[in-house]
Structure 1
């Protein structure tokens, strides 16, 4: 093939491309307009969604991820529409198939991470607790510091920082001690069988009513519960304003001190455990014999025969 022939073939090819480009130019312009429109729409939707999410979620990471996920989804739709306008349906089909395969593979490979991410999004949007709340979950008790995408950060009462995967927080019961802003304290005490029960109730109730942190709009509850081995046991209940765990511990400590002081002043006895020993059981051993075997008699002790 001569140089002239090769030049003619190249010129014909370039001419064909130019003709196809001219024919495709209207569709290309439309595709560009569609892409620009989808891009502007994606930015608008992203900004609006970000504003809405910031009202319901305090996690900026979650807000950014959700808003940008919608943003890129709209851009992807715009890209597929533009390719369709250009007549590249096969390319669109190949891209969709490839995206599906990649998504499926990533889902299997990172299913635990994905589960924690989804649980983190749910916790940030539903907000069963917030930073600063005192909660108990997965056998951990402490103050919520922050909800991350993959884990929830809790500081225990001993000062340790615990990172609990969001999936486990989502799947396990959560006790939120701060949600209501108040908490009930139950104190169980026992008094001697010889005490006047009406007096005991009156003195204990009055002692608890004087606690400064007790909520005044809630009464003090007093109930006798059982006949114990050496005492009649009762429970006294009252509510306090609760924002921190030291509030609970301080009120509980003050209640114990006040009840003990009031009982001492009123002559009410909180008995020690009492045990009755019966050495006259038929067939049993004599106490003197047992002690003599241990050498107690050598210490100068004498026992009745």
Structure 2
């Protein structure tokens, strides 16, 4: 009985000491708890202003609302994470903080490997938006697709081809591969290829073609119409006619090209300048160069003559 009472007293004393220690720890930690709560409240209050301020700055460099919202959210999350780390330090929970960071690092590595392509597409979209490489409605050629940009989101770029189809290209591929933007300078150059016969006066051809384009097509002010003879073809001397127009849209580009072809053809016809075309010579018989009547058997030729009679 005596032993039992002694054990009970020892257990009670241990419990009392632990409770006193806990109470003392809480009393000692009260200032830290109050300070941590104040820091956390201020951090949460400032996070709203950080979000708005970052978004205001990014808007100067990017027109993509979804990208702007994402970047501002990332900065806000980083700010809140720093506040949490400060709060844990005030509460002297450094060991828990280290464990938390280690766990977050392992989890982040695993998530990063699993979502590698989406993350690359995401940051590629952000880079394209901040660099202002192109905008909605621009006429571009990317990855062998030619059309206008319909939308740019966090994962892909949507191009509407001239035939009306929508092509969805991941931002990673768009950003890493070369692309052409026909809308940047708001003008395009037309390269028109043609040929004239060997008997024509090439200087006359050059002067006539240049004057015809200047009066038939509205070219860019201050630019020149250029013509270069580039090869001796099998049946013609070929040249390329170059001129600029103040319109990047494909419809107007094709119209200017069509008007130029019509005007050149009409001017050449009026000035007896020939645009030659390939001529095929058909040879009959083994030796070649024989007339068709001589190549066919006499019976067949005679039968055809009698039938005509």
**With structure 1 as the length reference, what TM-score do the two structures score?**
0.88
Q: CA deviation at 1:294?
A: 12
CA RMSD of aligned residues (A): 2.8
**With structure 2 as the length reference, what TM-score do the two structures score?**
0.87
Structure 1: runs of 5+ lacking an equivalent: none
Structure 2 CA distance for partners of 1:100 and 1:159, relative to 1, 3 Å: same
Structure 2: runs of 5+ lacking an equivalent: none
State the distance in 2 between where 1:296 and 1:90 align. 109
Structure 2 CA distance for partners of 1:293 and 1:12, relative to 1, 3 Å: farther
Q: Where does residue 257 of structure 2 map in the other structure?
A: 252
State the distance in 2 between where 1:294 and 1:8 align. 138
1:215-268: CA deviations, max 9, x gaps? Answer: 121010011111111111111110001231112111101111111111122222
Q: CA deviation at 1:20?
A: 2.2
State the distance in 1 between where 2:267 and 2:292 align. 44
State the distance in 2 between where 1:26 and 1:130 align. 55
Q: CA deviation at 1:11?
A: 7.2
State the distance in 2 between where 1:278 and 1:120 align. 63
Equivalent of 1:265 in 257, 260, 270: 270
Equivalent of 2:296 in 283, 286, 292: 292
State the distance in 2 between where 1:48 and 1:127 align. 21
11-20 or 107-116: bigger deviation:
11-20
Q: Where does residue 46 of structure 1 map in the other structure?
A: 51
Summarize the alignment of residues 63-102 of structure 1 with structure 2, pairs less than 5 Å apart: 63-102=68-107
State the distance in 2 between where 1:168 and 1:71 align. 29
Equivalent of 1:27 in 26, 29, 32: 32
1:8-38: CA deviations, max 9, x gaps? Answer: 9877765544432221111111112222333
Structure 2 CA distance for partners of 1:146 and 1:258, relative to 1, 3 Å: same
Q: Where does residue 205 of structure 1 map in the other structure?
A: 210
Summarize the alignment of residues 222-237 of structure 1 with structure 2, pairs less than 5 Å apart: 222-237=227-242
Summarize the alignment of residues 128-167 of structure 1 with structure 2, pairs less than 5 Å apart: 128-167=133-172
Q: CA deviation at 1:152?
A: 0.2
- Asked if structure 2 preserves the Cα contact closer than 8 Å seen for 1:183 and 1:240, the reply is yes
- Asked if structure 1 preserves the Cα contact closer than 8 Å seen for 2:51 and 2:75, the reply is yes
Q: Where does residue 184 of structure 1 map in the other structure?
A: 189
SS at match of 1:300: helix
State the distance in 2 between where 1:29 and 1:63 align. 36
1:68-124: CA deviations, max 9, x gaps? Answer: 111111111111111111111111011101110110000111111111111111111
Structure 2 CA distance for partners of 1:7 and 1:207, relative to 1, 3 Å: same
1:152-210: CA deviations, max 9, x gaps? Answer: 01000000011100010011111111111111101111112221222211221111002
193-202 or 71-80: bigger deviation:
193-202
Structure 2 CA distance for partners of 1:81 and 1:221, relative to 1, 3 Å: same
